[in-house]
């Protein structure tokens, strides 16, 4: 065994293979569960590393394993199923070896490597497979990708040797709309060589047949002719965007210590954090302090039962949509249905199947987070939307007010500077190049802001092409310098469009606390300064007090 805890891709793969071998030798249900847990853990690890090809292979194996999970009576599974799973494991192992040889899968001890710090192992290179006919577009895309820090390696459609490290993504730009059979063969060859890379095909006809042919050859994303090339950067930036990686949090309401220990062990194996209370009377305090993504609720407990506790939560706006899953020995279907009718989302029986419990908990939490995200974040840019940005700004101003009132040493004298940014002549960009290109300009600015500002800064999409920025602890002079630097860089950022690149500029207005002591006054003053910047000729930063 390489190490006592499964840390790296190789270790996780080793554990998976070992568990599979044990199952094949003995054929017991519990051994199959252990194997399925190992597959799930590897799939999650690939997901965190953002290795789309390996995620796909691993999820295929996970689905096949879950399909065969069954129960005690269905094991050992039939020899042809063993053979088919064995083949999937071998394909996965070969893909891991192939990616590893490119340096993608270096060993990274998890204990010292939080998900947010693993950027260094992400490949940041992009291959572009393009012919001479699409020179202008390829050049514009290359400049744009380089601006965001990607290394671009160009290849011709007839090239057969690829010596560089395996890329994050491969962009295929065909000479005409539909791929020729030689081009399909080239795509399949690159798919085999780069199992972990995202393959993107630009300019497909909007019809099922050609898209299916490309997908069969190994393409992950096809972009219709009319949307290119504005979508390309979006696709690639999505691959490196660090989504919310916060650990899932589950509150366990359960009076049996044995059940709590089993649940916590199972969820911990899937990287899920838990907090347990044995008395539903403590529920509101625990929700307030622990802020879970899901409650796992026992049915029968002293004082009052899980269904009563759930009904109370459903009457409170803050918890009306929080996922609640019952985990109980109650086997009477009528009682289960009643429990769901009164506010529960799902019912799981005790003794629970660990794979099923983890799968239900994760799926419910993912959906819950997705809904929460969609109400707070802007779909185009992933930044806070207007409402969320306004309320975040209010909270920042309140924090400073509170710290001044309590004279907290750490925060005393804190400053806050707000900037309103608006892209210049944006209507003309839309009118000239079309809305998809306009959207790409907005996204380009969003990415530049995210890349340049700190994680504690507030960045919101305030209106169509208007952004609200708040920089806590930063005075006006420094803020003006920072925003002006971003302004200069944005004006040099090429935005790819079918005939080459276009350049855009923005104007900004700045205001600061304590000169303006309320959130509304700050945005109003920044807005006034922005108007002044527009009047003075645009592409400039003005200070409004
Ligand atoms: N592509 C795209 N366009 C948008 C979006 N939201 C708003 N717009 C457009 O943005 C344009 C804003 O134009 P105006 O407010 O007239 O200002 P402008 O052309 O940027 O001119 P100045 O601000 O004076 O420099 C309008 O044409 C809107 O339709 C969006 O999400 N995507």
Q: What is the pLDDT of residues 87-107, one digit of tens each?
A: 999 988 888 877 665 443 333
Same-domain status, 48 and 179: no
Same-domain status, 137 and 67: no
Same-domain status, 390 and 536: yes
Q: Whose CA is nearest to atom 31 of ligand 1?
A: 464
pLDDT of residue 255: 86
Q: Does 360 reside within a domain?
A: yes
What is the residue range of 67's domain?
9-112
Q: Does 129 reside within a domain?
A: yes
- Please determine, for the modelled complex, whether the ipTM score is greater than 0.90: yes
We report the CATH number of the domain holding residue 15 as 1.20.120
**243 vs 30: which has the higher pLDDT:** 30
Q: What number is the average pLDDT over the span 376-400?
A: 88
Return d(Cα 377, Cα 139) in angstroms, integer: 33
- For the record, the structure tokens of 336 come out as 């289960």
Q: Does 70 reside within a domain?
A: yes
Q: How far is the CA of 440 from the centre of ligand 1 (A)?
A: 13
Q: Whose CA is nearest to atom 4 of ligand 1?
A: 464
pLDDT of residue 82: 93
Mutation choice for ligand 1 from 231, 424, 434, 464, CB with most ligand atoms inside 8 A:
464
Q: Does 476 reside within a domain?
A: yes
Confidence check: pLDDT of 150 > 90: no
Q: Whose CA is nearest to atom 7 of ligand 1?
A: 464
Of 314, 348, 373, the last residue of a domain is 373
Confidence check: pLDDT of 171 > 90: yes
pLDDT of residue 394: 92
We report the CATH number of the domain holding residue 394 as 3.30.70.270
pLDDT of residue 408: 47
Closest approach atom of ligand 1 to CA 464: 6
Closest approach atom of ligand 1 to CA 441: 1
Q: Return mean pLDDT, the chain.
A: 83
Q: Does 477 reside within a domain?
A: yes
pLDDT of residue 31: 86
Contact (CB, 8 A) for 200 and 171: yes
pLDDT band at 108 (very low <50, low <70, confident <90, very high): very low
Of 63, 82, 112, the last residue of a domain is 112
Return d(Cα 86, Cα 445) in angstroms, integer: 47
pLDDT of residue 465: 96
426 C-beta closer than 6 A to ligand 1: yes
4 to 14, 105, 118, 197: CA distances (angstroms): 12, 19, 22, 30
208 Cβ partners below 8 Å, 6+ apart? Answer: none
Q: Does 378 reside within a domain?
A: no
Q: Does 1 reside within a domain?
A: no
Q: How far is the CA of 198 from the centre of ligand 1 (A)?
A: 33
Least confident range from 63-72, 78-87, 375-384, 443-452: namely 63-72
pLDDT of residue 495: 87
Q: Give me the number of domains the chain comprises.
A: 4
430 C-beta closer than 6 A to ligand 1: yes
Q: How far is the CA of 501 from the centre of ligand 1 (A)?
A: 19
pLDDT of residue 48: 67
Of 67, 87, 112, the last residue of a domain is 112
116 Cβ partners below 8 Å, 6+ apart? Answer: 242, 245
Q: Whose CA is nearest to atom 30 of ligand 1?
A: 464
Contact (CB, 8 A) for 128 and 141: yes
pLDDT of residue 460: 95
106 C-beta closer than 6 A to ligand 1: no
Same-domain status, 392 and 529: yes
pLDDT digits (tens, 9 = 90+) for 276-324: 999 888 999 999 889 899 999 998 887 888 889 999 999 998 898 999 9
275 C-beta closer than 6 A to ligand 1: no
Q: Does 351 reside within a domain?
A: yes
**421 vs 332: which has the higher pLDDT:** 421
**251 vs 360: which has the higher pLDDT:** 251
Same-domain status, 226 and 101: no
Q: How far is the CA of 484 from the centre of ligand 1 (A)?
A: 21
Q: How far is the CA of 465 from the centre of ligand 1 (A)?
A: 6
Least confident range from 63-77, 262-276, 302-316, 510-524: namely 63-77
Same-domain status, 352 and 406: no
pLDDT digits (tens, 9 = 90+) for 39-53: 877 877 777 676 777
464 C-beta closer than 6 A to ligand 1: yes
Residue from 542, 507, 506, 510 nearest 525 by CA:
510
241 to 50, 119, 148, 234, 445: CA distances (angstroms): 9, 10, 12, 10, 15
Same-domain status, 406 and 533: yes
Q: What number is the average pLDDT over the span 62-74?
A: 80
pLDDT of residue 405: 59
Same-domain status, 307 and 346: yes
Q: How far is the CA of 454 from the centre of ligand 1 (A)?
A: 27
Q: Whose CA is nearest to atom 23 of ligand 1?
A: 424
436 C-beta closer than 6 A to ligand 1: no
Mutation choice for ligand 1 from 231, 421, 465, CB with most ligand atoms inside 8 A:
465
Mutation choice for ligand 1 from 385, 424, 426, 538, CB with most ligand atoms inside 8 A:
426
Closest approach atom of ligand 1 to CA 439: 1
We report the CATH number of the domain holding residue 177 as 3.40.50.2300
Confidence check: pLDDT of 536 > 50: yes
Q: What number is the average pLDDT over the span 404-413?
A: 51
pLDDT band at 63 (very low <50, low <70, confident <90, very high): confident
535 C-beta closer than 6 A to ligand 1: no
Closest approach atom of ligand 1 to CA 426: 20
427 C-beta closer than 6 A to ligand 1: yes
Confidence check: pLDDT of 270 > 60: yes
pLDDT digits (tens, 9 = 90+) for 177-206: 778 888 999 999 998 888 778 899 988 787
Share of the chain above pLDDT 90, in %: 33
Q: What is the DSSP letter of 293?
A: S
pLDDT of residue 144: 80
pLDDT digits (tens, 9 = 90+) for 449-500: 887 787 788 999 999 999 999 999 899 999 999 999 999 989 988 888 878 8
**3 state SS of 160:** coil
Same-domain status, 390 and 539: yes
pLDDT of residue 50: 66
The backbone region for 402, taken as left when phi is positive above 0, alpha when psi lies in -120 to 50, beta otherwise, is alpha
Q: Whose CA is nearest to atom 5 of ligand 1?
A: 464
- Ranked by mean pLDDT, the top range of 31-35, 95-99, 101-105, 387-391 is 387-391
Q: Whose CA is nearest to atom 29 of ligand 1?
A: 427
Same-domain status, 359 and 294: yes
17 C-beta closer than 6 A to ligand 1: no
Return d(Cα 369, Cα 248) in angstroms, integer: 10
Same-domain status, 74 and 173: no
CA dihedral 448, 451, 452, 453 (to 10 degrees): 110
Same-domain status, 411 and 295: no
């Amino acid at each position: 065994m390489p190490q006592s805890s499964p840390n790296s891709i190789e270790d996780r793969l080793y554990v998976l293979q070992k568990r599979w071998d044990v199952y094949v030798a003995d054929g017991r249900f519990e051994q199959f569960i252990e194997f399925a847990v190992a597959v799930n853990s590897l799939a999650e690890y690939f997901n965190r590393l953002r290795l789309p090809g390996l995620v796909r292979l691993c999820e295929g194996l996970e689905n096949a394993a879950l399909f065969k999970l069954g129960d005690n009576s269905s094991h050992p599974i039939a020899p042809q199923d063993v053979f088919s799973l064995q083949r999937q494991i071998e394909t996965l192992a070969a893909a891991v070896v192939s990616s590893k040889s490119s340096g993608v899968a270096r060993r990274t001890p998890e204990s010292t490597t939080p998900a947010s710090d693993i950027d260094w192992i992400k490949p940041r290179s992009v291959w572009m497979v393009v012919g001479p006919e699409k020179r202008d577009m390829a050049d514009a895309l290359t400049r744009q990708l380089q601006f965001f820090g990607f290394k671009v390696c160009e290849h011709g459609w007839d090239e057969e040797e690829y010596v560089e490290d395996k890329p994050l993504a491969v962009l295929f730009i065909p000479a005409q709309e539909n791929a020729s059979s030689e081009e399909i063969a080239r795509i399949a060859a690159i798919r085999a060589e780069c199992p972990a890379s995202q393959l993107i095909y630009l300019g497909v006809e909007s019809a099922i047949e050609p898209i299916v042919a490309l997908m069969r050859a190994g393409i992950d994303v096809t972009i219709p002719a009319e949307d290119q090339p504005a979508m390309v950067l979006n696709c690639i930036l999505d691959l490196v965007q660090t989504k919310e990686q916060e650990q899932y949090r589950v509150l366990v309401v359960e009076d049996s210590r044995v059940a709590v220990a089993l649940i916590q062990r199972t969820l911990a194996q899937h990287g899920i954090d838990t907090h347990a209370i044995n008395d539903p009377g403590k529920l509101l305090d625990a929700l307030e302090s622990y802020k879970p993504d899901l409650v796992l609720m026992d049915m029968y407990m002293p004082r009052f039962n899980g269904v009563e506790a759930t009904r109370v939560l459903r009457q409170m706006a803050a918890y009306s949509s929080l996922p609640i899953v019952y985990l109980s020995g109650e086997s009477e279907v009528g009682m289960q249905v009643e429990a769901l009718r009164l506010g529960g989302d799902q019912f799981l029986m005790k003794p629970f199947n660990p794979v099923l419990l983890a799968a239900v908990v994760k799926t419910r939490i993912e959906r819950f987070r997705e809904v929460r995200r969609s109400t707070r974040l802007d779909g185009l840019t992933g930044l806070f939307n207007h409402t969320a940005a306004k309320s975040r700004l209010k909270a920042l101003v309140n924090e400073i007010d509170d710290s001044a009132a309590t004279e907290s040493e750490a925060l005393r004298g804190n400053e806050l500077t707000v900037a309103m940014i608006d892209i210049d002549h944006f209507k003309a960009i839309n009118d000239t190049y079309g809305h998809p290109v306009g959207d790409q300009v907005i996204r380009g600015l969003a990415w530049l802001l995210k890349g340049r500002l700190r994680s504690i800064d507030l960045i919101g999409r305030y209106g169509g092409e208007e952004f609200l920025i708040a920089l806590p602890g930063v005075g006006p002079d420094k803020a003006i310098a920072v925003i002006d630097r971003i302004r200069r860089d944005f004006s040099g950022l090429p935005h790819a469009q079918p005939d080459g690149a276009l350049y855009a500029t923005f104007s900004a207005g700045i205001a600061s606390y304590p000169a303006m002591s309320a959130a509304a006054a700050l945005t109003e003053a920044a807005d006034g300064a922005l108007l002044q910047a527009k009047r003075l000729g645009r592409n400039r930063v003005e200070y409004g007090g």
